[in-house]
Amino acid sequence: MSSVHTVQKVMSQLNPAEMSGTVMAVLDIARPAMESMQRRWPSSGRGLELIDMNREWPGNENGFSAVSRQAGLVFNRLLRPNTDMAMDFHTGTTGLDASAFHIGDMSIPDVKTMMMLFPVPQIWDNAAYPGLLHNAYVDAGIPCFTPEIGAARRLDLDLIPIFIEGTMNVFKHYGVIPGKVGRTAADANVYIGKSAFPVLLTHGGFIELFVKLNDKVTPGQRVAVQRNAFGEVVAEYTSPVNGQIGGLRSEATSEPGNVLMFILSSGAPVPGAAPYAE
């Protein structure tokens, strides 16, 4: 919801008479996911399954699922032919509170430039998962990254202005609109990480967190405990890396296997730490 609201607010501030070039906003691409307020939409093509469109890009107009076909049609006929540079706004995963951050490959000059024009506290310098829209754009030679605006299913009126300001900075920097660039990532003292490492829950029970979003952590630092219904500690959790907290479980209870938190890290992991591959 925060990403949709951000795009709406940005478009409402643009005056075509003062612009050079075109800004195109595309909302509501995955209608079934939007209606059900979750990122996967149901497909009955091969039996009932739930498919995340943001693992399907660039899609296939003749693919095996409605999701793949929708992605292929949108990308081939709308997005790719009408885009020089792109920003793919998202929020974090359901069940996690998330920092204001970006995901993108900083080895691509225009991607680095765009990301650094936002006053965000964290950047994940990574191409990330296959099938993301920003990766499909990059593969097509179009610079793109993913701004992540806090938690899912929530209208975060504190974070949204950061992303509006950053988007307007991008337009100003590239001459789309007049004006002076405002605050940037440097003003936010941005932390740039190369990896996002998960701490996974090993038990079910009640969660007590000892860290907050954007906190710095070190290997072996105690970050949470989990208790059963009798109040007994059934699990303790520690950080596997040096880094900053990028996401935290937002629910008080959880079952084994869920992500308790993810930690953005710029350094080498300790032995046995696995990267976040969701």
- Pair (164, 72) in one structural domain: yes
Residues ≥6 apart with Cβ < 8 Å to 47 = none
C-beta separation of 206 from 253 below 8 A: yes
- Pair (226, 172) in one structural domain: no
pLDDT per residue over 5-17, tens digit each? 999 999 999 999 9
Q: What is the domain extent for residue 254?
A: 194-265
For residue 4, which phi and psi values (nearest 5 degrees)? -60, -45
- Pair (162, 34) in one structural domain: yes
Domain finish residue from 166, 191, 216:
191
d(CA 215, CA 225): 17
C-beta separation of 120 from 100 below 8 A: yes
pLDDT per residue over 106-133, tens digit each? 999 999 999 999 999 999 998 877 899 9
Question: Does residue 278 form part of some domain?
Answer: no
CATH classification at residue 232: 2.40.50.100
| Amino acid, res. 98 | A
Confidence label for 270 from pLDDT (cuts 50, 70 and 90):
low
Q: Say whether pLDDT at 192 is over 60.
A: yes
Question: Does residue 101 form part of some domain?
Answer: yes
Domain finish residue from 129, 158, 191:
191
CATH classification at residue 59: 3.40.630.10
Q: pTM (2 decimals)?
A: 0.91
Instruction: Annotate 52-113 with DSSP letters as a single string.
Output: EGGGTTT--TT-SSHHHHHHHHHIIIIIGGG-SSEE--B---TTEEE-EEEEE-TTSHHHHH
Question: Does residue 23 form part of some domain?
Answer: yes
C-beta separation of 106 from 165 below 8 A: no
- Pair (172, 259) in one structural domain: no
Count of structural domains, the chain: 2
Q: What are the structure tokens assigned to 146, written together?
A: 């993913």
Count Cβ atoms within 10 A of the Cβ of residue 165 and give its class: 0-12 exposed, 13-18 middle, 19 or more buried.
Answer: middle
- Pair (20, 112) in one structural domain: yes
C-beta separation of 223 from 210 below 8 A: yes
Question: Does residue 274 form part of some domain?
Answer: no
pLDDT per residue over 215-257, tens digit each? 999 999 999 999 999 999 999 999 999 999 999 999 899 999 9
